[in-house]
Amino acid sequence: MSFRRAMPRTIWTSHPYGKRLYLADKGGRDVIVIDLAKRKIIKCMLLGPPLYGVDITPIGKYAFVISIGGKAVNVVDTETLEISSRSKWA
């Protein structure tokens, strides 16, 4: 996996296996996770404003969410839907 691939490019991305959709409220503070088979929201994560985008690793293990206001990259475990790490920049 290259870091360039993991950088958010859009305000939404889907899981590589089509299980879920991840929506970043661009300029807002929420990431919404939707189960595509059930067509239901399964998680709403507050990650801090303003969000810039979201992307997912090629194998679907992690989602990366950039928060410009928080000057951080949030790493979300796609199985547990919890933040596994947060890296801040100056």
| Helices marked H in the chain | 3-6
- Ordered DSSP codes for 54-75: EEE-TTSSEEEEEETTTTEEEE
Whole-structure pTM value: 0.78
Domains of the chain (ranges, CATH numbers): 3-88 (2.40.10.480)
pLDDT in tens, 2-41: 444 444 444 777 877 788 998 887 777 888 899 999 999 9
Cα–Cα distance measured from residue 69 to residue 75, given in angstroms and rounded to the nearest whole number: 16
pLDDT in tens, 40-66: 999 998 887 788 888 899 888 999 988
Q: Looking at residues 68-78, what average pLDDT do you find?
A: 88
* Tokens matching residue 35: 């189960």
